[in-house]
Structure 1
Amino acid sequence: MSNWADLTTGKRIKHLRGSDLTQQALAEAAGVSLALVQKAEQDRGDLSVGSLLKLANTLKTDVAVILGQQAPRQGMSRDDRAALRHLSNAVHESALGEWDGINNPSTLDELSAVRDLAWGAYWASDTAKVSSLASKVLMEGQVRYNSATGVERERLALVLASTYRVAASCANGFGHRDLALSALTSAKILAKEADDPVMLALLESTLSWIYLRGAQTPRAVAVAERAAQAIEPSFSRASRSEFLAYGRLMISAAVAASRREDAHAADDYISQAQAAAARLGREEKLYGTSFGPTAAKTEAVGIHVALRNYGQALKLASQPDMAKLPKSMSKVARNRYKLDVALAQCESKLYDRAADTLIEVGLDAPQWVKHQALPGVIGKRLAKVSTARVRNISELIGVPLVA
């Protein structure tokens, strides 16, 4: 087979489909039309991100593989594969109580500090560090949890639940859905034992994302909406943590609704998220999750892009308070927002600005970019104007963007 990145998107889809799966069968399994599959394999027209998600999920692969940013089975670096294997062992063996030989596990405060470092590594897109730190917390935390009582046991349960959640988030980012669900299952058991509704709400937000990445958008919306109703704050008496969790769930529901092209529902959810953000007044962080006015606005930009409201997305992005993002904003969140802006710029025929934004993201987070769908989508749009420019961008950021 030719170099995977040199194939067209249509040829990649056809290769992944193979001879055992007909175009009609792929269309039915993915929930798209036969005409869409036929046009995709003939490289006629552009696929929406929603259609790419559906096809990737049915073909048991990642959107980045279809777009040529990763090769099948070899798309992940050796270090990332090793880190995820290590993390998988920690998730499953800790839940099964298989850890032995730990005579002096770390204290509760030490485990909490390492948990926070694991979340920091996740938002910096450092998979190896997430694996190393999270594994330590799960290994030693379960040993201490098994012998703890009272308040210490409740606090340990929350530290462990949050650590299982970062493991789930990391695994889901690489398309390892089964590992993500396993980690989330353990996290929910611990959160229920600790009787912490905010932690449970944030776990549901992660579950919604897992369903979204698996192209199960109705379930993604339903999970987020159900959890939001369970924790919906009284705006006169709610705690800041409840506003954070509710706002983040509304964002999850809005994103999923936008992938279903349900503009009315998406607008309603984002309005509720912005109301919660306004009550917070500033960015807050809890259990590895950030939310506030800036987060609500950057997410709203992405939602407008998904709904093809590119002018509205750029109008939001051009507001004075969006010119300089807060230093507290994670690398992943910052670059995900910038990719949304780049796509909106591209669709508005601001090709030079879109190219500059894509280069900025690629240089800032080269490893993270390889696992994202939007760089390939943006690259295809830009290639219609200048293939040479896109090839230069590909070489500069180290990510294949066009065949």
Structure 2
Amino acid sequence: MSNWADLTTGARIKHLRGTDLTQTQLAEAADLSLSLIQKAEQDRGELSLSSLLKIAAALRTDTAVILGQQAPRRGMSHDTRAALRQLSDSVHASALGDWDGLTDPSDLAVLTEARDAAGEAYWRGDTPKFTALGAKVLLEGRARHESAQGYERQQIGLVLATTYQYAASSAVLLGQRDLALAALTSARNLANDAGDPYVSALVESTLSWIHLRSARAARATAVAERAAARIEPSFSRPTTAQLVAYGRLMISAAVAASRGGNATMADDYLSQAHASAARLGHDTDLYGTHFGPTFASTEAVGIAVALGNHGQALRLASRTELPRTMPKLARNRYKLDVALAQVECKLYDAAADTLVDVGRDAPEWVRHQALPGVIGKRLAKVSTARVRRVSEAIGMPLFA
């Protein structure tokens, strides 16, 4: 695609409409005439502000994107754009107390069930379903939390905190850092208000990840390290919650240190994560956060890749077995690390096969990852035909 700002307004509308909507469907969704949509895409005449706002709402985007002031996320489907808008609306509306019309919000049991289902959808990479369930929890949960007291208020607060944490993770995957930070601010406040130090620690783990995705490795390390220091377990009689939260924070710190090129710090944090995983003895999850021996082993592969130890990464991968219960997103993120290690070790066919495997397993999620493009560029230096075949197999261009 050409530079987004260099396209005409009509070309941008046509691109955003894509193959998900016909011109007739866009006209109906925007409550505008078909002829107006046709003229808009042909750049015949000027769109009124009212028409521009209606088209932006129907395309689930912002007017700034249509006008070329900011570019859209590459390859984002109409369903994902709609889900992102719903996610943004629910995060902000719930935080601001905008839940007019909710006269009988769901109780704790229903909210907990919806939160768990939302978490499962998140780990499957089903953004539309996650957003629909998450929006219900955030809006109804905040309304219920407002009048709840005692134990009920505490538990609803934890349900809300973990749902906001999921929302933050989903937002950052879609490149929406400001939305992620807004959601995480609500998560932190609710977790602190509920008085659960381990949920608060897991919120900080997500914050560390957001900083890492924003190329702030030093800050990501510091956030994880400070949070871990507050909950460091006694290894004589640790609880499951302590081991999960501490282990995840040590992984966060190790990953951040590896991205900053500090092998010594990365190894130290990783060894503590392995110790927590070994003490735990099995894979588990705490409020939807997964940790255990498998998680520590797969993250060790990614850390080796980040440090440039590609041979070591493949050796570690050869000893790592992925259980069938491993969440789809975690599994495919690990496989992208393996594919990068394979291409750096000149195992081009293996890297291509791994990338195809990821693309077919999580076609929408992979569009929002940076590693496929990096791997594609490496493959293209050897064979552009191979890259074209992989691109066709996973249904997306590996690089522009």
1:84 Cα offset (Å): 1.3
Counterpart position of 1:360 = 357
1:241-291 deviation line (CA, Å, top 9, x unaligned): 110000000111111111111111111111100000000100011111000
Q: Contact 1:145–1:153 at 8 Å: present in 2 too? A: yes
Distance 2:177 2:392 in 1: 31
Q: Which amino acid aligns with 1:73?
A: P
Distance 1:314 1:268 in 2: 21
SS in 2 for 1:370: helix
1:38-78 deviation line (CA, Å, top 9, x unaligned): xxxxxxxxxxxxxxxxxxxxxxxxxxxxxxxxx94252222
Distance 1:165 1:115 in 2: 11
Distance 1:294 1:283 in 2: 7
Q: Decide whether aligned partners of structure 1 residues 72 and 213 sit closer, same or farther in structure 2, where only a CA change above 3 A counts.
A: same
Distance 2:304 2:213 in 1: 18
Q: Contact 2:73–2:175 at 8 Å: present in 1 too? A: no
1:171 Cα offset (Å): 0.6
Q: Contact 1:383–1:402 at 8 Å: present in 2 too? A: no
SS in 2 for 1:290: strand
The 5 A counterparts of 1:205-216 are: 205-216=205-216
1:138 Cα offset (Å): 0.8
1:7-33 deviation line (CA, Å, top 9, x unaligned): xxxxxxxxxxxxxxxxxxxxxxxxxxx
Counterpart position of 1:314 = 314
1:225 Cα offset (Å): 0.4
Q: Contact 2:73–2:174 at 8 Å: present in 1 too? A: no
Counterpart position of 1:246 = 246
1:367 Cα offset (Å): 0.8
The 5 A counterparts of 1:296-315 are: 296-315=296-315
Distance 2:195 2:305 in 1: 38
Q: Decide whether aligned partners of structure 1 residues 218 and 74 sit closer, same or farther in structure 2, where only a CA change above 3 A counts.
A: closer
Distance 1:85 1:337 in 2: 29
Higher RCO (CA < 8 A, seq sep 6+): 1
TM-score by length of 1: 0.81
Distance 1:86 1:337 in 2: 29
Distance 1:2 1:81 in 2: 21
Task: Please say if 1:77 is aligned against 2:74.
Answer: no
Q: Which amino acid aligns with 2:228?
A: A
Q: Which amino acid aligns with 1:334?
A: R
Task: Please say if 1:385 is aligned against 2:364.
Answer: no
Q: Which runs of 5+ in 2 are unaligned?
A: 5-69
Q: Which amino acid aligns with 1:314?
A: L
SS in 2 for 1:311: helix
Counterpart position of 2:183 = 183
TM-score by length of 2: 0.81
SS in 2 for 1:326: coil
Task: Please say if 1:222 is aligned against 2:219.
Answer: no
The 5 A counterparts of 1:56-205 are: 72-75=71-74, 76-205=76-205
Distance 2:273 2:73 in 1: 39
Q: Contact 2:310–2:345 at 8 Å: present in 1 too? A: yes
1:353 Cα offset (Å): 1.0
1:402 Cα offset (Å): 4.0
Equivalent of residue 323 in structure 2, options 321, 326, 351: 326
Distance 1:364 1:289 in 2: 21
Counterpart position of 1:237 = 237
Q: Which amino acid aligns with 2:284?
A: E
SS in 2 for 1:98: coil
Q: Which runs of 5+ in 1 are unaligned?
A: 5-70
Counterpart position of 2:275 = 275
Distance 1:167 1:256 in 2: 22
Q: Contact 1:83–1:131 at 8 Å: present in 2 too? A: yes
1:148 Cα offset (Å): 0.9
Distance 1:92 1:367 in 2: 25
Distance 2:385 2:150 in 1: 64
Q: Which amino acid aligns with 2:224?
A: A
Equivalent of residue 338 in structure 2, options 335, 341, 352: 341
Q: Contact 1:212–1:256 at 8 Å: present in 2 too? A: yes
1:2 Cα offset (Å): 4.0
Q: Which amino acid aligns with 1:393?
A: V
1:226 Cα offset (Å): 0.3
Distance 2:96 2:364 in 1: 32
Counterpart position of 1:8 = none
SS in 1 for 2:364: helix
Distance 2:398 2:183 in 1: 33
SS in 1 for 2:100: coil
Number of residue-to-residue matches in the alignment: 334
